[in-house]
Structure 1
Amino acid sequence: MSAQDLTVAAPPTQAGWGDLLAGRNAAYSIVLAGGVTLHAVNIFIVTTILPSVVGDIGGLEYYAWATTLFVVASILGAALSSRMLDRAGPGRAYASATALFVAGAMLCAVAPTFPMLLAGRFVQGLGGGVLLAMAYAVIRLVYPETLWSRAIGLISAMWGVSTLIGPAVGGVFAEFDIWRAAFWTLVPLSLIFGTIAIAVLPRGSRGEAEPSPLPLPQLALLTASVVAVSAGSVSANPLWNGAGLLVAGLMAALLVRVELNASARLLPIGALDSGGRLVALYATIALLVTGMQTDIFVPYFLQVLHGQSPLVAGYLTALMAMGWTLGSILSAGRTGEAGIRALRSGPLFVLSGLVVLLCLVPVPSGVGLQLLPICAGLLVVGLGIGVAWPHLVTNVFKETAASEQGLAAGSITTVQLYATAFGAAVAGMVANLGGLSDPGGAEGASSAAFWLFGAFLLAPALAVVLVGRFVGRWNKDFTAESVRGR
C-alpha cells in the first residue's frame, strides 16, 4: 500500500467525447444535460431575482425559505426518482418531473404573496430533484459502460454553464422590474424539454417486480429538522430561534437512531460509526456545503450595501459556483500526496474566503476597488470546495463496501442537499437575528452580514479538524499495516 491509495484513480477511458455526441447518444446527452441545466439555471435565476421579489411582495423575513423549501423538496424528489423510473420508464418519468417543474414555475410567476411563491418553489423542487437524480440513474440505461464517465462529466459541466445563464436571465428581468417574467420564461423551455425527453428516451419501465423500499421515516425526520430551523428563523427572538434549533437537534438525533436500525437506509454501513473515517468524510462534505450557503444573501448585500445592480450582483454571487467548478477541474487529476494536500487545503480555502467576506461585505461602499477583494473572497470559498470535492467523493467510495457503491453514490447527493437546506435555514435564522428585517435597510443588512459570515466560519473550521483527523487515522492504519507486514 502507498500514499496513492488514499484516492481512487479514474478508470481508463475507452471512448471519446465524439462518441457521446454522435447519433442516438447525442439525443440522450441533450436530454440528460438539459434536465440538470433546468434545475441549476432555476437556482441561479431565483437567487438573482429574490431581492426584487421581496421588494415587490414582501417576505424579507422568509428570504432563506425560498432556497430551503426548494432543496428539501429536491431531496424528496431525488428519493422518489428511482421508483418513478421503475414504474414509468425514463421517458414518462422525465415528462412527469417536467410537469411538476412547470406547475411550480407557474405558481411562482402568479404569486401575489411570498407564502404562495414558497409553495411554488416547493413544487419546483420536487420536479427538479427528480430531474437531477434521474440524470445519473438513466446514464446506465442508455449509454454503454465506456461512456459513463464522459456522461457524468457532461452533466457536471452543466452547473458551470448554468452560472453563466442563470444570473443573466434573472438579472435582466430584475433590472426591468419584471421578475415574474423570469419564471414564465422557464415554462415554454421546460415544455419543449419534456416533449423531447418523452420522444427520445425509452418509455417502458425497468420491469422490477419489487422496487427498492424508500427510507420514509428518515426522509420525514430530515424534512422536519430543516423545517424546525426555518420556523425558528422567522423571528428575531433568540428564545424562538433556540426552540427551533432544539427541535431540529432532537429530530436529527432521532434520524441517526432510526438510520442505525433501519432496513432501508440513506447511508452506507459505517457512515454513522463515531470515530470512523467514513463519518468524517460525510461530515466534511456537509460542513463545506453548509459554509457555502451564505451566498443566498450575497445578492441582497451587494445591492443594499455596495450599490450593485441585480445583474452584476447575480454574476458576482455566481463566483462561488464558478470557483467550485474551477477547483474541481484543477484538483480532479491529483493523486497520492498531491491528492492529500488538496483534501487538506480545501477547507482552509473556504475558511479564508469567508474571513475576507466577513471583513468587507458588512462595510457599505460604492462601486470601487473594495469590490475586487469581495469577488476574490467569493471565488476562494467555491474554489476550496471544488479542490476538496473529488477527493472527498472518491474516498467515500473507497471506504464503502463494494455491495453498497450505489447507495454511497446516492447518499453523497442526499448529504449535499440536506446540508444545503439546513445551511440555508440556519443562514436565514442568523440573518434575521442579526437585524436583516428589523431594523432592516442598510443598517440591518450590515449587521446581518457581519453575524452571518462570522457564524458560518465555524463550518469550515470544523472541516479543517475533521480532514486532519481523517488523514491522521489513515496514516496510523498505514503504519500498522507496514509493521504487520514485516
Structure 2
Amino acid sequence: MKTDDKSRWGDLFSGQNAASALALSLGVGLHATNILVATTILPSVVQDIGGLDLYAWNTTLFVVASILGSALSARLLSHYGARGAYLVASLFFIIGAMLCALAPSMPVMLIGRTVQGFGGGLIFALSYAMVSLVFEQRLWPRAMALISAMWGIATLVGPAVGGIFAELNAWRWAFGILLPIMLLYAAFTFHTLPKGELQQQAAPLPVIQLLLLAGAVLVVSAGSLADSGWVNVGGIILALLMMVWLIRREEYSAARLLPYSALRRGSALASLYITVLLLVIGMTSEIFVPYFLQTLHGQSPLISGYMAAMMAAGWTLAEILSSGWRSAGIRRAIISGPILVLIGLLALAILVPTSSSGHWLALWPIMVALTLVGFGIGFGWPHLLTRVLQVTPQEDKSIAGASITTVQMFATALGAALAGMVTNLAVFNSPGGVAGATNSAHWLFLAFAVAPLLAIYTAWRSAAIALPESGAGEPLPTPVSGEY
C-alpha cells in the first residue's frame, strides 16, 4: 500500500506502537507455534494414550474450531472491546491447553484440541482485525508483514519445543508450558491494548454457511472411522451435498462467506478459490510425516518435526523469491506451482514408504521432496491472493480479505479429514506399526497428488484472468504464510 507518508520499521517499534505490535504478533506466534508443537509430539501422544485411528482428528477438529473462532472474532471485538476480546480468547486457549496436558485418553485430547483451536482462531483473527484499529494507515503493511513473519519464526521454534519434550517422554509439558505463557500474554494484552469498545462494526454472521462448512468436514472425518469403503464414500457424498447447499445459500444470503458470485461456474474468483483449496489440501499430508519418519526411518521426534516443517519453510522461501515478479513471471509462478507440488507428492509416495536406517543418504531425497511441495504452493501464493482482491468488486473487498483465510483453513480441515480416511482404509491402525505405516504412506501421498493434478487446470485459468489496470501485479501482505 502506498501512502504519502512514508513509514519505517522504527515507527512500528516506537512508543505505544511497540507494545501493540508485540501484542498482536505474539498472539499469532503462539497460535502458529502451538500448531507445529502439536504436529511434532502427536506420534508420542498416540504411543502413550492410544487413539491411532483418531490421529487426523487432532488437526481436523482444531482447524474447524479455528474457523468458527475466526468468524466470531469481529463480533467479540465489537461487543467487548480489544481487552475483553483478547481475555476471552486467551481463556479458551488456556482451558484447551490444560485439557490436552491432562488428557488420559484421545477423546479428551480431542476436546482439548477443539477448545484450543477455537481460542487460537479468535486470537489469530483478532490480531489482523486490530491492525487497522491501533496503527496509522501508513504502518498497516509493515504491521501485516510483521504478523505474517511469525509463521516463519514458528517453523523454527515449534518443532524444537515439541521435539525436546517428546524426546524427554514429557509430551504433556509441551501443552503445560503454554499455561503460564498464555496467562502472561493475557495480562500483557489487557494492560497494553486500548480500553473500552472500539468503533468496529461486526458484519452479519453467515451462520448457516459456517455450520455447513464444519458439517462437511466432520461428516468426512466420521466416515473415516469405519473400515467399510462404502461408509467412507457415503460420507463424501453427504459432504458434497452440504457444499451444494452452501453454494446455493451463498447466492441469495445477505451474510456471505465469499464475495458475490464467487462460486458460480466459470467465474474468475471460482478458479482462484479452487486453486487455493486444492494446493492446501495437497500440503495437508504433512500431518502424518512425523509419524512416518519415526516409524519407517528411525528418526527422533526433534528431527522428524523439523523435516515435516520443511514444507512450511519451502512455502515461505518461494513466496520471498516470487513476490516481486510481474506480468509473465506471475503467470509462470501460478501455473508451475501445482506441477511442483505434484512432483513432490509423487516423490514422497515412492520415498517415504521405503524403510531405511535413517542415514542422511536416504533422508535427503525425502527432505527435497517435502521442500518441493511447500515451494510449489508458495511460488504462486502471493499472486493468487492478490488476484482474489483485484477481481473482487469494490463493495465486497472486506469479505474477500476474510475469505482467503476461511478458504485456507477449510482446505486444511478437509485435507486432514481426507488424510484420516485414506490412511485408515490403508490399514494405518490395523495392523499398524511398520506394515500399516508403509501402506498408508504410499496411498496417502499418491491419493493427495490428485489435488495438485486438478489444480494445474484451475491454475492455468487463474493465470489467464484479465486484471484491472490499476494495481495489477502488486503483491499484498498475505495473512497466512507457510501453515494453516
Q: TM-score, normalised by structure 1?
A: 0.94
How far the C-alpha of 1:236 sits from its partner, in A, is: 2.4
Q: Which residue of 2 aligns with 1:329?
A: 320
Q: Deviations over 1:358-387 (max 9, x none)?
A: 110011111221100100011111111111
* Residue in structure 2 matched with residue 372 of structure 1 by the alignment: 364
In the alignment, residue 219 of structure 2 is paired with which amino acid?
A
Return the alpha-carbon distance in structure 2 between the equivalents of residues 305 and 474 of structure 1: 48
Aligned letter for 1:397? L
Q: 1:335 aligns to what SS in structure 2?
A: coil
Moved over 6 A (4+): none
1:315-464 matches, within 5 Å, as 315-368=306-359, 369-464=361-456
In the alignment, the residues of structure 2 paired with residue 409 and residue 472 of structure 1 have an alpha-carbon distance, to the nearest angstrom, of 22
Instruction: Work out whether residues 88 and 203 of structure 1, in 8 Å CA contact, stay in contact via their aligned partners in 2.
Output: no
Q: SS state of the match for residue 211, structure 1? A: coil
Is contact 2:251–2:261 with CA below 8 Å preserved after alignment?
no
2:217 corresponds in structure 1 to 226
User: Does the 8 Å contact 2:334/2:460 carry over to 1?
Assistant: no
Aligned 8 A contact 1:287 1:459 in 2: yes
SS of the equivalent of 2:177 reads helix
The letter of the residue matching 1:286 is L
Moved more, 451-460 or 349-358: 349-358
How much does 1:453 deviate? 0.3
1:47 to 39, 45, 59: 39
Structure 1 position 270, deviation (Å): 2.2
Residues 20-49 of structure 1 deviation map (CA, whole Å, 9 limit, x = unaligned): 111111101110011101110000000000
Aligned to 1:309: 300
Q: Which residue of 2 aligns with 1:36?
A: 28
Per the alignment, residue 261 of structure 1 pairs with: 252
Verify the 8 A CA contact 1:87 1:207 in the aligned structure 2.
no
Tell me the alpha carbon deviations over residues 277-309 of structure 1, each in whole angstroms, 9 at most, x when there is no partner.
110000000011100000000000000000000
Q: Aligned to 1:474, what secondary structure does the other structure show?
A: coil
Matched, 1:18 2:43: no
For the residues of structure 2 that align with 1:188 and 1:457, how far apart are their CA atoms?
A: 41
Deviation of the 1:11 alpha carbon: 3.4
Q: 1:234-273 counterparts in 2 under 5 A?
A: 234-273=225-264
The 5 Å alignment of 1:131-142 reads 131-142=123-134
Q: Is the 8 A contact 2:56 2:417 kept in 1?
A: yes
CA drift of 1:205 comes to: 1.3
Question: 3-state DSSP class of the match of 1:274?
Answer: coil
Matches within 5 A, 1:198-217: 198-207=190-199, 211-217=202-208
What displacement does 1:473 show? 5.1
The separation in 2 between residues aligned to 1:428 and 1:111, in whole angstroms, is 21
Q: Please say which of residues 57-66 and 19-28 is displaced more in the overlay.
A: 19-28
- The residue aligned with 2:265 is 274
Query: SS of 2:466's equivalent?
Result: helix
Q: Shift of residue 203 of structure 1?
A: 2.4
State the distance in 2 between where 1:244 and 1:156 align: 35
Q: Which moved more, 1:251-260 or 1:165-174?
A: 251-260
The CA distance in 2 between the partners of 1:178 and 1:88, in whole Å, is: 38
Which residue matches 2:77?
85
Question: How far apart are the structure 1 equivalents of 2:322 and 2:140?
Answer: 20
Tell whether the 8 Å contact from 2:331 to 2:464 is kept in structure 1 after alignment: no
The answer for unaligned runs of 5 or more in structure 2 is: 470-484
Amino acid paired to 2:131: I
Structure 2 residue identity aligned to 1:326: L
Q: Distance in 2 between matches of 1:263 and 1:92?
A: 28
| Equivalent residue pairs, number | 467
Q: Any residues of structure 2 matched to 1:174-193 within 5 Å, and which? A: 174-193=166-185
Report the secondary structure of 1:379's partner residue.
helix
- The Cα shift of 1:344 comes to 1.3
Q: Percent identity of the aligned residues?
A: 51
C-alpha displacement of 1:207: 4.8
The answer to whether the Cα contact below 8 Å between 1:33 and 1:135 also exists between their aligned partners in 2 is yes
Q: CA RMSD in A?
A: 1.4
Hey, what's the Cα distance between the residues in 1 that align with 2:445 and 2:383?
26
| Distance in 2 separating the partners of 1:93 and 1:227 | 28
